[in-house]
Structure 1
Amino acid sequence: MFKALAAAAALAASLATPAAAQGAEGAPELVITEAGTQVLGDFLWQSRLLVVFADSPNDPRFIQQMGYIEDRPGDLIERDVIVITDTDPAARSPIREELRPRGFDFVLIGKDGFKYLRKPLPWDVREISRSIDKMPLRQQELRDQRARP
């Protein structure tokens, strides 16, 4: 179920902060990494973050959320999203310390560092994508894309 998580763990060490890494076939892959020692400022103006917290990797809500993410990675890649997971409250990662989740929680953070969305229940990627598409910077990106010949 977490096939992308294992592949992304290898990418975490060499994360250069593009939201999509190149897969074996050259197609972009969604970056899913663990919080570890990373800080939110590392991603400022480069990627949007979807931070998924749980008190255990066995939390049914965490499993459901990761399933939603794995079902539609292309929508997140297109929107420059990196998924960060944190399922170990005892580790006290810098991201957990800053966002202070309670149990399962996910936080959507824009490229500008603003926390746009926080939910205590899993959300479908379609709904997350709609929230991203309402962000001012995303609106500007879409306008810029349409203006290109």
Structure 2
Amino acid sequence: MRAHILLFFAMLTPAQHRADDPATVTLETMRDRYRPLLVFAPTGKDPDFLRQLHLVAADQSELQEREVLLVPLTSTSEARPACVPGTSAHMEPEAAAAARRRFHIPPNSFTVVLLGKDGGEKLRSQTPIPIRTLLQTIDSMPMRQQEIHDRHTEPKTP
């Protein structure tokens, strides 16, 4: 598992800070565009935190198809983790603190919160969430059902 985590971090690139780039986000900027997966942890070395990152790294394409944006949030002032463009993003300290307050996450707690595109909480866990559980939760959402329906009914272009 440690090798997979190292491989995951080796693939990461630093975030770019363009206005249209989701590399640095707030809850408001993600609304209607992404399904944020907020991963709160005391530190970037927390075993549950690393396990959740590993799970996400193993199924990036499935999550990207569902417009899931991984947002790792640690309580310490350590350097923020790099992100995978299009798959993960950062929150500045003020936005991260606001998210922590909104979802009532203590600084010493590991918690994963999945939000819908509407900004509402869809799933919460104090242990890493298996990807299958994330996918099933997302695929049962009305907005995701509509996305699937729209994709299958779009006219094919020659």
TM-score, length of structure 2 as denominator length: 0.73
Worse overlay, 80-89 or 91-100: 91-100
1:112 maps to a residue whose letter is D
Aligned-pair RMSD on alpha carbons? 2.2
**Do residues 114 (structure 1) and 101 (structure 2) align?**
no
Q: When the two structures are superposed, what TM-score results if normalisation uses the length of structure 1?
A: 0.77
Matched to 1:99, the amino acid is F
Give the greater-gyration-radius structure (CA). 2
Aligned residue type for 2:116: G
**Residue identity opposite 2:118 in structure 1:** D
CA pair 148-136 structure 1, distance change in 2 beyond 3 A: same
| CA deviations over 1:80-138 (Å, ceiling 9, x no partner) | 11110111257562222222224100000011111100111001112101110011100
Alignment counterpart, residue 136 of structure 1, candidates 134, 142, 148? 142
Structure 1, unpaired ranges of 5+: 19-32
In structure 1, the partner of 2:85 is: none
Structure 2: 5+ residue stretches without partners = 78-92
State the alpha-carbon separation in 2 of the partners of residues 143 and 6 from structure 1: 33
**Percent identity, aligned pairs only?**
32
Q: Secondary structure at the match of 2:15?
A: helix
